[in-house]
Amino acid sequence: MGRGKPLQDDAARDRIRGAGLRCTPARVAVLHHLETAAGPLTHAEVSDSLHHLGFDRATIYRNLTELTEAGLASRVELGDHVWRFEAKRAGGGHKGDDHPHFVCTTCGEVSCLEDVQVAITPRAAAGKGAKRARGRIGSVTEVLLKGRCEQCD
Ligand SMILES: [Zn+2]
Ligand SMILES: [Zn+2]
């Protein structure tokens, strides 16, 4: 994905300690898994991937929640009422935590768009519609793009 060198388990450990949490094997595995993923993952996806390490779904869920509360991960909801979790990027120069997501409507793959910026710009012509739309937006917390991914297009 060209996002720089892959993070090692050690980096995950440092960040967990830095957030004041204990480094349990499950917590390190969950954070490391999120950090190496190409996009946000559901609880079920993380559970499936880490099942072979002997962690049950409840343990994975508890750790996802704890990492989120500690600020090491964030939760996103992409319109299908399923929470997905992703690691917050460590000190990435740009606004790494505030990126749009792209969902493929054919295969369901979710990816992070960390190198693009989406701006909402009101149209210059102030028709009735534009006025109303502008008044309705308080603050945008999530930008979601839908379409077909390269594989499906
Ligand atoms: Zn696709
Ligand atoms: Zn993302």
Task: Identify the H or E element spanning 65.
Answer: helix 57-69
What's the CA-to-centroid distance between 89 and ligand 1, angstroms?
25
Nearest Cα to Cα of residue 87 among 61, 69, 103, 67: 67
Cβ atoms 59, 43 nearer than 8 A = no
Q: Which helix (H) or strand (E) element contains residue 31?
A: helix 25-36
Distance 131 CA to ligand 2 centre (A): 31
Say what the pLDDT of residue 60 is: 98
Q: Which of the ligands is closest to the CA of residue 76?
A: 2
The structure tokens 């409840």 sit at 58
Considering every ligand atom shown, identify the ligand nearest to the alpha carbon of residue 151 and give its number.
1
Q: What is the pLDDT along the chain (153 residues), one digit of tens a residue?
A: 444 444 467 889 999 999 999 999 999 999 999 999 988 999 999 999 999 999 999 999 999 999 999 999 999 888 888 999 999 875 543 344 678 899 999 998 898 888 887 777 777 765 555 555 556 777 777 888 999 999 999
pLDDT on residue 10:
84
Q: How far away, in angstroms, is 45 Cα from ligand 1 center? A: 17
Q: How far is the CA of 111 from the centre of ligand 1 (A)?
A: 10
Cα separation, 114 vs 40, in Å, equals 12
Cβ partners under 8 Å of residue 24, min gap 6: 63
Å from CA of 9 to ligand 1 middle: 30
Q: Which ligand is nearest to the CA of 143?
A: 2
Which ligand is the nearest neighbour of the Cα of 111?
A: 2
Ligand (nearest to CA of 88): 2
> What are the beta bridge partners of residue 101?
112, 144
Instruction: Locate 11 and state its tokens.
Output: 């980096």
25 CB-near residues (< 8 Å, 6+ apart): 53
Q: What is the pLDDT of residue 7?
A: 46
pTM (predicted TM-score): 0.75
Q: Pick from 92, 41, 87: which is nearest to 68 by CA?
A: 87
CATH number of 9-147: 1.10.10.10
